[in-house]
Amino acid sequence: MSSLELIGISKSFGNVKALDDINLTFEEGKIYGLLGRNGAGKTTMLKIIYEMLFPNSGAVHMDGHAIGGNDTALGKMFFIGEKNYFPEEMKVEKAFRLMNDFRKDFDPAYANRLADAFGLNIKKKIKSLSTGYASIFKNILALASNAPFILLDEPVLGLDANHRDMFYKFMIEKYSESPFTAIISTHLIEEVADVVEHVVIIRNGCIIRDEPRESLLDSGYSVSGKADTVRAFVSGREVLGTDALGGFETAYVLGECPKNDLPEGLEISRMDLQRLFIQLTNS
Amino acid sequence: MDLRFEEERPIFIQLAEQLEDGILSGAFPEESQIPSTTEISVRFKMNPATALKGINILVEDNIIYKKRGLGMFVSKGAVKVLREKRKSQFFERYIKSLASEAKRLNISADEIYEMIKRGFSA
Amino acid sequence: MKLVPTIRYNVQDIITKTIPVYYGVFTLIFLTLFSMSKLTSLYMAGSFSGASFNSTVLIVVIGFVYTRSSFRYLTQMGVSKRTQITGKVISILLISAVAVVMDRLLELFAEFLFKSTEMTYEGSGIAFSLFDAYLSKLGPVAREMTLIGLGYTSRVMLLSATVFIAMLYVRMNTAAKVIVSVGIPVLAFVGMPALAMLIPEQMAKLIHTIAEITGLSNGLPIRSILWMTGGTVIFMMLYSLITRRAPIKD
């Protein structure tokens, strides 16, 4: 069993603390959703794992050993980010060819099949690709890398709805055939809500949630009805936030959903991942 | 088969119910094969572990069974079992909420009965 | 191991594209000059020195152009910094070797071509002007070896220095880049002459000592080879030091 572990990772940029004592374990063969608002530290964390940035303290371990510049450990991962780190003049087909050179598990036939399916012209220079096709190009590299851990930072950036749909389907198909660990950081939470198995929520450089999606969704609920009834009901409970519309109010509450002792006129529902995320990371 | 999921209940339970609907409607006849976990998860962009969880609910209820190396098949007599199960849930799921909404709107039981008759003949 | 693909990535384009094009251009220039002097009645005479026609310019360009992009690309491919450093050092040694051989071939070609004309090409001009006395005492094989040794170590040191400076630019922020880009020319063209005016004796002594140690003033090429090797080691160590934990800036 492979595992990827962050131990006490802290990182500052000048006076700004980007990550504060992060401890996390990513297990083999699971799809993780890494959620956080802009500037929460998602990209910093992924780049530290892939040694594109170096932490001020802490270490990243692969299979129990500090990665610390180990090619084998780094080779078990593949990171793609918003930015393009490929040389200006390189063409897509050359990038595929070189990828084959550097990573023996890369599957060029699969990469070409995906390029075909997405309509990515492999004769084009990488820098001349549109935002959407640049994302597609990087996603193809990641999916075809066959790395046990793929780190996807905003993989669907600039993709239209059809291509996003295709991307998730190809990813799930590949995952079903041979499971890998994917850590997906994205703002389009609704779309990955059913794809991910485990959710990590990061806020201001700290991990505030790290649990299976189902248990996370079970950890809160919303209750709506007349404002005073709702308020009476939630008093003494942990309220994340409220939405009011005239005398009608919805409160978002943490805790187990009380199915039975529910006052008349109140309606209880499960929160979806997006709503729960917004409530947990507000303010 | 098309699934439109709402967020009210866990997605694997909804998947199980949708598969049950498929069996009840005859889309998946008894002794026929149902789509694989991979097909289901790809089609609905759902984590395969979640899809498996939904399918396993049906396996536990003996609605479907596994043929080694071949896939999942609808059990003989599954439709009958499902009808019984759904009937037993009918009061909880439909009548209770029907009654509470009717009370809110001051609709009498007799009026509802008339409406039901109308619904059946439509 | 990712060392082999790393070295291949570093040198492949340079050896298969950049270097052939670079020397191809000079071959064409020489051929044009040659045919002009033979086919036209124009009287052409002159001498070209190695400094303007050998790989010096090429090496500086290679060092500056490829260092940043290969650092980013190799990091994206998951190549550790350690392997990147080792790969870079080996690549410097390889590219310099190819360059020095190409320079010598170009020189032999030009000598052969211009024999019957009034033109001369002195590829190792600098080496001859500095070490003339020493070199003329050597036999042909030893002289060739010494020339190649000088050519090789000077190119290796130049490329190491360029790679280190290019990497320094990758690591520095904008303010530091400006300070270095302005500061070094100011130091060289204002500071040094100013010092030479203020304390002429001490400066002259310093320059004399440096020239002595490096073998420039006493015509000892082995000393030059040694100090250039030492310089190379220092540049490579500095490069390694700033690359080991180099972050990728967006």
Rounded to whole angstroms, what are the CA distances from A178 to A30, A109, A136, C163?
11, 17, 21, 42
SS3 C54: coil
Q: How far is the C-alpha of C214 from the C-alpha of C208, rounded, in Å?
A: 10
What is the residue whose two structure tokens read 């939470």?
A189
Given this model, what pLDDT does residue C193 score?
Answer: 85
Q: Are A146 and A105 in contact (CB under 8 A)?
A: yes
SS3 A184: strand
**Average pLDDT of the segment spanning B62-72:** 91
Q: How far is C17 from chain A (nearest CA, A)?
A: 14
Residue C72 near chain A (CB below 8 Å): yes
- ipTM of predicted complex: 0.93
State the chains in contact with C (3 or more Cβ–Cβ pairs under 8 Å). Answer: A
Q: Do chains B and C touch (3 or more CB pairs under 8 A)?
A: no
Nearest CB to A53: which of C72, C79, C247?
C247
- Residue A148: which pLDDT band, with cuts at 50, 70 and 90? very high
SS3 A272: coil
Query: Chain A: residue nearest C8 by CA?
Result: A101
Cβ atoms within 10 Å of A251's Cβ, excluding its own: 23
Given this model, what pLDDT does residue A263 score?
Answer: 79
Q: Do chains A and C touch (3 or more CB pairs under 8 A)?
A: yes
Answer whether residue C51 shows pLDDT above 60.
no
Contacts with A271 (C-beta within 8 Å, 6 or more apart), sequence order:
A217, A220, A221, A222, A252, A279, B7
Determine, for residues C72 and A85 on separate chains, whether the beta-carbon distance falls below 8 Å. Answer: yes
Identify the CA nearest to A239 among candidates A268, A212, A279, A269.
Answer: A279
Q: How far is the C-alpha of B103 from the C-alpha of A211, rounded, in Å?
A: 42
Cβ atoms within 10 Å of A60's Cβ, excluding its own: 22
- With contacts defined as CB-CB under 8 Å, which chain C residues touch A66? none
Nearest CB to C83: which of A47, A52, A71?
A71
Residue pLDDT, tens place only, C145-194: 888 888 899 999 999 999 999 999 999 988 888 888 888 888 888 888 88
Mean pLDDT over all residues of chain C? 87
SS3 A31: strand
Given this model, what pLDDT does residue C49 score?
Answer: 59
**What does C61-106 look like in DSSP terms, one character per residue?**
HHHHHHHHHHHHHHHHTT--HHHHHHHHHHHHHHHHHHHHHHHHHH
Q: Are B57 and B12 in contact (CB under 8 A)?
A: yes
**Average pLDDT of the segment spanning B96-107:** 88
In this structure, of B8-22, B82-96, C27-41, C162-176, the range with the lowest mean pLDDT score is: C27-41
Nearest CB to C80: which of A74, A78, A99?
A74
Residue pLDDT, tens place only, C213-232: 877 777 788 888 999 999 99
The CATH number given to B11-77 is 1.10.10.10
Find which of A162, A194, A215, A217 to mutate to test the B interface (most B CBs within 10 Å of its CB).
Answer: A194
Nearest CB to A54: which of C9, C73, C247?
C247
Q: How far is B80 from chain A (nearest CA, A)?
A: 31
Q: How far is C80 from chain A (nearest CA, A)?
A: 5
Residue B28 near chain A (CB below 8 Å): no
- Residue B18: which pLDDT band, with cuts at 50, 70 and 90? very high
Given this model, what pLDDT does residue C21 score?
Answer: 92
Answer whether residue C50 shows pLDDT above 60.
no
Size of interface A-C (CB pairs under 8 A): 66
Given this model, what pLDDT does residue C43 score?
Answer: 64
Identify the CA nearest to A16 among candidates A34, A35, A36, A40.
Answer: A40
Spell out the domains of chain A, with CATH numbers in brackets.
Answer: 3-213 (3.40.50.300), 218-281 (3.30.70)
**Average pLDDT of the segment spanning C197-203:** 88
Determine, for residues C2 and A75 on separate chains, whether the beta-carbon distance falls below 8 Å. Answer: yes
Residue A98 near chain C (CB below 8 Å): yes
Given this model, what pLDDT does residue A155 score?
Answer: 97
Given this model, what pLDDT does residue C124 score?
Answer: 63
State the chains in contact with B (3 or more Cβ–Cβ pairs under 8 Å). Answer: A
Q: How far is C156 from chain A (nearest CA, A)?
A: 25
Identify the CA nearest to C70 among candidates C55, C57, C88, C82.
Answer: C88
Query: Chain C: residue nearest A76 by CA?
Result: C78
List the domain boundaries for chain B.
11-77, 79-121
Contacts with A223 (C-beta within 8 Å, 6 or more apart), sequence order:
A230, A233, A234, A250, A251, A253, A266, A267, A268
Answer whether residue B5 shows pLDDT above 60.
no
Given this model, what pLDDT does residue B25 score?
Answer: 93
Answer whether residue B2 shows pLDDT above 50.
no
Given this model, what pLDDT does residue C134 score?
Answer: 82
Q: How far is the C-alpha of C96 from the C-alpha of C228, rounded, in Å?
A: 13
Please report which residue ranges of C118-173 form alpha helices under DSSP H. 125-136, 140-171
More confident residue, C52 or A270: A270
SS3 A72: helix
Q: How far is the C-alpha of A141 from the C-alpha of A154, rounded, in Å?
A: 14
Query: Chain A: residue nearest B51 by CA?
Result: A194
Answer whether residue C130 shows pLDDT above 80.
no
Determine, for residues C72 and A101 on separate chains, whether the beta-carbon distance falls below 8 Å. Answer: no
Rounded to 5 degrees, what are φ and ψ at A187? -95, -15
Given this model, what pLDDT does residue C1 score?
Answer: 74
Widest pairwise Cα distance in chain C: 63
Give the distance, in angstroms, between the CA of residue A241 and the centroid of all CA atoms in the same chain: 24
Query: Chain C: residue nearest A150 by CA?
Result: C78
Residue C79 near chain A (CB below 8 Å): yes
Answer whether residue B1 shows pLDDT above 70.
no
**Average pLDDT of the segment spanning C46-65:** 75
H-run or E-run covering C223 = helix C221-243
More confident residue, C143 or A127: A127
Answer whether residue B39 shows pLDDT above 70.
yes
Cβ atoms within 10 Å of B24's Cβ, excluding its own: 14
Q: How far is the C-alpha of A136 from the C-alpha of A129, rounded, in Å?
A: 10
Strand partners, A268: A223
Mean pLDDT over all residues of chain A? 94
